[in-house]
Amino acid sequence: MHLDHVFVCGDPALDFAATLRSRRSERSETLTTPDRLDAWYVESGVVDAVSPGRQADVEQARTVREAIYQLVTARRLGRSTTGRR
């Protein structure tokens, strides 16, 4: 397992959203394999242990991550995620 994820936000959801780095320039994906996703879960302290993940888990995790990012961005900019203010 890799031990090189970064946790600087102080919140698991925000740290998870940050697993895609450099969004405004050359993007750097950290959740590249099931092992990397498993490592993030354990290193973040969200869980003590995980069952080995699959590639489908990585794809679902990326979808959740992007939803978190969009929600946080909308809130930060004072936008509604439902089209209302």
Mean pLDDT of the chain: 88
pLDDT band at 9 (very low <50, low <70, confident <90, very high): confident
The whole-angstrom distance between residue 63's C-alpha and the CA centroid of its chain comes to: 9
How much is the pLDDT for 66?
96
| pLDDT digit string, tens, across residues 13-53 | 999 999 998 888 888 899 999 999 999 999 998 999 999 99
Write down the pTM of the prediction. Answer: 0.81
CA 84 to chain centroid, in Å, comes to 26
